[in-house]
Amino acid sequence: MTKTDVGGFLAALRKAKGYTQAEAAELLGVSNKTVSNWETGVSSPDISMLPALAELYGVTCDEIARGQRIAPAESERATSAKREKAMARLLEKQRADLFAACCICGGLTVLGIILALAVGCGALESLIGFFVGLIPIAASAVTAAVMVRRIRFAAGGEAESAGQAKLLRAADSSLFWLLLADIAAFGFIFPHAFAPVHTGLNLEDALLAGTAAALLFAAAAAVIYAVARAARKNKAVQAAVAAGSVPPERAKAMRRRSLLPVWLFALPSTAAILLCPFLFVLAANVTVYIEGDKTNTFDTVQEMEAFAEESELFADFAHELVSEEEPQEGEADRCALVYRFAEAPAELLAYYNYEEREDGLYVTVYEYSYEAVTEEGTKTHELLARNPKLQGGVEQIEADEAWGVCSIRYAPDLQTSATVRLRSMLQSGLYAGAIGFGCLYLIYLAVSIPLYARKKKQWLREEDAKKNAAN
């Protein structure tokens, strides 16, 4: 607009208000000539005078600058556009603040874990490390709650637009994950609290025990949150139904939606929390002792050979030699002898290698050749290993009576080895079951969480569409 248009508009406004140039100049704090120059187009009002002119004549600064009245519809559109632009800037700032809050809280959580490990495992002061690490973790939780609450307050309590609703959901989601991370971090440093004073955990043990505790704490927190949230939503739906603001059909659908996370996540997580640690505890309590070789010493060769042939099975039950197998390649000092027994008790046979056939029980024992130094000189002797203790295998035979060295070194007996194998298989099976169930649970979460998130986004879009239609 030209100066003349603005001047004519100001003159028309002054006359409409019934002011003379002198009265208008007095009210504005300027001279008559200045008002006259404005109205004749000789000069334009200074920008600092626009608010005073607008207030005096009952118009807006924009209308004075244009030199004409603005239609109400156009004014409303301009105001709405400005409001939307301001809201967009506010939401952008709140998103930046939310990202900064997440970074700060996440950094505090990681710092707490590092401090606990450094003091507990590095300085061997686990109890002090627990409290030192707890401070940043607690600060992270408090900071997350305060920052998210401030962001929600700045963005408004209720969503009036899609962008505002998205920010509020992001704030709630961020608070949940930040608090869950803090709970998991607390679980990670929790084992340090049980260490005696002035002692520290081994780094490997601290990592394993901390990871297990972190998973348990996080899973338990997720279960409690899901159940509490479902209960709160169900209570809100009941109140809405009682007030008549929600139809019964929609209330039923809302209840199903609120219970879906419980069925999808809370119950499987509870099963994982209970079953996996239970299997791990069972596996840890299975005692598996792996015995090494044993050595028996004797004064003479005769005593050693008598020990080797000592056997209740061969002494009390009739038997006959069936075959004497030739030594295998690489076993020139050992040959197998097979005896047939008509009958023998199972508790004795359990210590021997035997085969049950139609005509009897065939028991295999070994005969070992070794060099023995006696008063008669160095000769090759045969040691018949019938003793049940020797059935696991004779590793070494030493026989030197001149030096008083007569000994047999042998492996654990067959019964002990079988028990160890059985216990080891049981322990491995329990560990494998716990790990397998845990992996199955993780796979289930990896599949169900994206599906649930997709379904939840669809529900939220439908709710936003309903709100926009209502507005």
Query: What's the CA gap between 467 and 454, in Å, rounded?
Result: 20
Domain annotation for the chain: domains and CATH numbers = 3-70 (1.10.260.40), 294-411 (no CATH)
Mean pLDDT across the chain:
80
In this predicted structure, the answer to whether residue 364 has a pLDDT above a threshold of 80 is yes
| Max avg pLDDT among 39-53, 238-252, 294-308, 410-424 | 294-308
pLDDT band, residue 432 (cuts 50/70/90) = confident
Choose between 316 and 85: higher pLDDT. Answer: 316
Place of tokens 């300027």: 30
Tell me how far CA of residue 250 lies from CA of 22, 245, 333, 461, in angstroms: 69, 10, 87, 16
In this predicted structure, the answer to whether residue 421 has a pLDDT above a threshold of 90 is no
Query: What average pLDDT does this structure show over 322-326?
Result: 83
In this predicted structure, the answer to whether residue 296 has a pLDDT above a threshold of 70 is yes
H-type alpha helices, 244-339: 248-261, 267-285, 301-309, 312-316
Model confidence over 227-248: pLDDT tens digits? 777 777 777 767 766 766 666 6
Query: What's the CA gap between 408 and 296, in Å, rounded?
Result: 5
pLDDT band, residue 72 (cuts 50/70/90) = low
Query: What average pLDDT does this structure show over 322-338?
Result: 77
Query: What's the CA gap between 269 and 227, in Å, rounded?
Result: 12
Burial of residue 292, with CB atoms counted within 10 A of its CB: 0-12 exposed, 13-18 middle, 19 or more buried: exposed
* Tokens linked to 183: 């709970």
* Tokens linked to 191: 């084992």
Helix axes 203-243, 162-189, angle to 10 degrees: 140
DSSP state of 246: S
Return the pLDDT at 106: 92
Model confidence over 375-392: pLDDT tens digits? 778 888 899 999 999 998
Backbone angles phi, psi at 201, to 5 degrees: -80, 150
pLDDT band, residue 328 (cuts 50/70/90) = low
In this predicted structure, the answer to whether residue 137 has a pLDDT above a threshold of 80 is yes
Return the pLDDT at 467: 62
Return the pLDDT at 185: 92
Choose between 401 and 155: higher pLDDT. Answer: 401
Backbone angles phi, psi at 199, to 5 degrees: -130, 160
